[in-house]
Structure 1
C-alpha cells in the first residue's frame, strides 16, 4: 500500500512538470522494469497496447525515452538524474529569459498603487520579501516578539549589515548588540498604548503596515505612501528618544503617555490601555475628559447662519 502511494506521488509530480497522465505511468514503468517492449510496458502501466505506442513516441520527443533495439522494439528510460537535470537547466534558462523579456513590458512593481493584504499568509509573504530585499536600512515599529519566519529574515538582514532601527513595545528584542542595530522602547517605556499596528519601511523605498488583531494590511512602493510611513516611523524614533531623556519633564507638562495632548488633539477616544497606564503612573485618579464626538459627517453640528444686519434708515 505504501509503495502504491509512493508511485502515485511520483506520477503526480511528473504530471506537475508537464507529463501527461499516460506518459507518467509509462515512464515510471520503464524506470521500474528496465528495457521493455510496448506490450510489456502496456501490461506494467495498465494501458492498451495501441495507446502505449503513442505514449512512447511522445516520451521519445521529450528525450525521456530511447529505443535500443528494432526487432522486437525495446525501450529504456533516460536515467532520471540525466533527464531531469537537463530539464531543470533548460527550464531555468527559459524562466530567466522570460523574466528579462517581460520586465521590459511591465511598469515598476507597486509604483502607482497600494496592495491590500488580506490574511496573515499574504502579509507574511510580502513582509519577508520586503525584509529580504532590503540593502541599507530597515525602520520598524511593532511588538518585540515577531513570528519566527519574519524574525529569521530580520536577523539575516542584520547579518548583511543592513541598519535596523526598531521601536518596540514589550520586552527588549533579543537582537545582537551591534553599531548598526538600534532599539528604542515605544514612547520611552515600551508600553503598547494604541491600535496594534505593525509598520516597517525598507530603504525608504517600500513600506508595509498591518493590523495584527484584524490580520489585514497594505504594502506599497508608492512615494506618498512610503513618505507617510517613513515620517510616522521617524517621529516614533524622535518621541522615544525625547521620552527616554526627558521623561519627568514631559510627564509633568503633558501627563503620562502624553494623555493631555492625546485628549486635546486626538481624533479617537483614549483607549482603556492608555487610561490604565496613566492611572498606574499617578498617585491620584486623573480627570479624564469625556470622549468627544467623532468626525463623521452625520454627527457634525451645522454652524448657525450669521444674523443679517438690518439696513440703517435714511
Structure 2
C-alpha cells in the first residue's frame, strides 16, 4: 500500500488524492462521507480532493443523493496518466529554451533511485564507449542497459570486483577504514566526456557526477593503470615474485597502504632496519 502511494505521489497526486484513489479502488463506489470516515480525515478535505480528481477525469461522480464516486479501472487510469505525462514531456523537450551555456561542474546525487536514473539515462545515450569499474552486484542491476549499448555498437571496457578478485600476486591491502561494509565503490566514464563516481551500500547510494575533464581523465587513467597492472601480472606474476620477493609487495604497499601503515615485511623487521629503509 505505502509503495503504491509513493508512486502516485511521484506522478503528481497529493497525499490526500492518492489515499482517496486507493480507497475507492479498494471498496468501490462510495460517498465522500464514507471515504472520509474510513480514512479518518475531515470531509471538507476529502470533498475538495474528490472535486479536483473528478474535474481531471480520474474519478467519476454518479447521480443521486448523496453523490457517489468511483475511480477509473487501473488500466484506464494508467493509460490516461501515461498520455498526459507523455504530452507534457514532448512539450517540455520542444519548448524548453536551449540558449544558455553551462560550464562543467560537479554535483551530488543521493538515493538509490536517483543514482540509477541518472546513470541509466547516460548509458542509454552512449554513442562510442562506456568504461565500467564496478562490483558484480552493481553490474547485474545494469545488465539490460549495458547489453543494449553493446548491441548499438558501443565499446564496453569492464573491470569487476567480486570481493575476492585480487590477483594472487598483487599485494593489495585496502586503506584503513575502507571496509566493504561501508559500501561498494563504482565508477562509469561515458564517451570520455561524462563520469559518475560513487558508492552503494546498505544505507543507499550516493555519487558525484560531472563532465569536468580533470575527473574524466583521472578515472580513465586509473582504469588504464589497473588493467595494465592486471595484464602484466597475468603474464609475469610468478616472475615478479621470484625476482623481487617481499620487495614487490613493499613497492605496492608504499603507495596504497595508508599513512603510517607498515607492510607485512616491515612488521617482521627489527626497528632499526625499518628506520634505515625509510631513510633510504
1:89 correspondence with 2:80: no
- How big is each residue's C-alpha offset from its partner over 1:211-265, in whole Å with a ceiling of 9 and x where there is no partner? 789x9764322112101211122122222222332335545369544524765x8
Separation (CA, whole Å) in 1 of partners of 2:129 and 2:156: 4
Counterpart contact for 1:201–1:207, Cα < 8 Å? yes
**TM-score where L is the length of structure 1:** 0.53
Counterpart contact for 2:132–2:187, Cα < 8 Å? yes
Query: 1:3 is matched with which residue?
Result: none
Separation (CA, whole Å) in 1 of partners of 2:186 and 2:226: 12
Query: 2:13 is matched with which residue?
Result: 18
Taking structure 1 as reference, are residues 20 and 61 closer, same or farther at Cα in structure 2, changes over 3 Å only? farther
Q: Aligned to 1:202, which of 190, 200, 203?
A: 190
Structure 2 segments unaligned to the other structure (5+ residues):
179-184
Separation (CA, whole Å) in 2 of partners of 1:131 and 1:211: 18
Question: Root-mean-square deviation (CA), in Å?
Answer: 5.3
Partner of 1:232: helix, strand, or coil?
helix
Partner of 1:207: helix, strand, or coil?
strand
User: Per chain length, whose mean CA-contact separation is higher, i.e. which structure has more relative contact order (CA < 8 Å, sep 6+)?
Assistant: 2
Higher relative helix content? 2
Query: 1:244 is matched with which residue?
Result: 234
Query: 2:72 is matched with which residue?
Result: 79
Quick check: 48-57 or 87-96, which moved more?
48-57
Using the TM superposition, give the Cα deviation of residue 90 of structure 1 relative to its aligned residue in structure 2, in angstroms: 0.7
Larger of the two Rg values belongs to structure: 1
- How big is each residue's C-alpha offset from its partner over 1:156-203, in whole Å with a ceiling of 9 and x where there is no partner? 35534352332658544xxxxxxxxxxxx55x7354235356554333
Query: 2:250 is matched with which residue?
Result: 259
List aligned pairs for 1:208-219, cutoff 5 A. Answer: 208-210=196-198, 218-219=208-209
Counterpart contact for 2:133–2:188, Cα < 8 Å? yes
Structure 1 segments unaligned to the other structure (5+ residues):
1-5, 173-184, 294-314
Query: 2:181 is matched with which residue?
Result: none
